[in-house]
Amino acid sequence: MLNEIQAPLVRLTLDSLRQSATSNHTIIADAKLHDIAQSIGTTLTASEPNNPQAYSLGIALGEQGLSLSALLDAQAAALALAASLDDSIERSTVLKHTTTAYGEIIKGLVAANAATAEQQRVQIEQTLRSTVDTRLVAEEALRNALRELSTPIIPVATGILVLPLVGTIDSRRANEINEHLLEGIATHQAEIVIIDITGVPMMDTSTANLLLMTARAANLLGSRIVICGIGAEIAQTITHLGVDLRGLTTLSNLQASIAYALGEMGLGIKPL
């Protein structure tokens, strides 16, 4: 009885799959659709409708990209064929057999789709994590580059460093400057550090505290701080703030500071 309807069942299934082809998750070639229709027909006309073959077929169809809607359309075509049988007993048997077998196929396809969705979720999560990690690394590299540019440590002679400061200095930048300078002192074994604040437009408590904090930290490392570039306006601000710079050496400009530092180190500049 079941074998007698296999040929028309395969034909109707193939027609249905072709009509529903656009709903599939991937493009399935017509020859492949024919193979799928043949596999479904063979499974539906098997002696045992809920055998493992039906579930396995559903998994395979899901992995091949067949959509659930396409499979449901094919099921509807198969049920319509079963319902058209003349003999009531035969019709009832085939309907039950088809419904049971398709139920197993659908379960397998849904399981395959769920597994694919989970794989895609994991892949997307890994891609996002990798993208975020890459971005964080790039941002950290950019911050380090900006830090190097904003606080350049310039060795001008053995044991002498120059730190030219430019722009406004807030508390965060002050901490970065202090940290970067101390690293430079340790790296170059500097005995004298010249901090040039000519490019600092204004002096506030944060900037003043930076100078004092840096001087104390440098002293602990065996270095001395020389401050240069203090203009009249900044000098008035320092006085107004009550900041005591008496423990620091202050000179008018960078040239004088370098000459002073060289002299302290027993060095000098000979004219050509």
pLDDT at residue 21 is higher than 90: yes
How much is the mean pLDDT over the chain?
86
CB of 11 within 8 A of CB of 68?
Answer: no
DSSP state of 163: E
Chain centroid offset of residue 39 CA: 44
Domain parsing of the chain, residue ranges: 3-121, 154-264
| pLDDT value of residue 176 | 82
| pLDDT value of residue 87 | 83
pLDDT above 90 covers a percentage of the chain that reads 38
| pLDDT value of residue 50 | 63
Which residue in the block uniquely carries the two structure tokens 């193979």?
Answer: 35
| pLDDT value of residue 37 | 93
Higher-pLDDT residue of 232 and 56 is: 56
Distance CA 133, CA 153 (A): 30
Close Cβ partners of 150 (under 8 Å, ≥ 6 residues apart): 166, 167, 173, 176, 177
DSSP state of 4: G
The CATH code of the domain at 3-121 is 1.10.490.10
SS3 content of the chain, % helix, strand, coil (to 5): 65, 10, 25
β strands within 25-75, DSSP E: none
CB of 223 within 8 A of CB of 163?
Answer: no
CA nearest to 197, candidates 232, 230, 174: 230
Task: List the single range of 52-56, 142-146, 151-155 with lowest mean pLDDT.
Answer: 142-146
Higher-pLDDT residue of 13 and 205 is: 13
Higher-pLDDT residue of 206 and 117 is: 117
| pLDDT value of residue 226 | 93
At 10, the pLDDT band (50, 70, 90 cuts) reads very high
At 66, the pLDDT band (50, 70, 90 cuts) reads very high
Task: List the single range of 28-32, 115-119, 237-241 with lowest mean pLDDT.
Answer: 237-241
Average the pLDDT over 101-111 and give the result.
93
Average the pLDDT over 132-142 and give the result.
83
**pTM score:** 0.50
Distance CA 134, CA 140 (A): 10
CA distances from 126 to 115, 119, 132, 140, 222 (A): 16, 10, 10, 21, 49
Average the pLDDT over 86-110 and give the result.
88
The CATH code of the domain at 154-264 is 3.30.750.24
- Among left, alpha and beta (phi > 0; psi -120 to 50; other), residue 140 is alpha
Task: Give 31-40's long-range contacts (Cβ < 8 A, gap of 24+).
Answer: 32/64, 36/61, 36/64, 36/66, 37/10, 37/11, 37/13, 37/74, 38/10, 40/9, 40/10, 40/13, 40/74, 40/78, 40/105
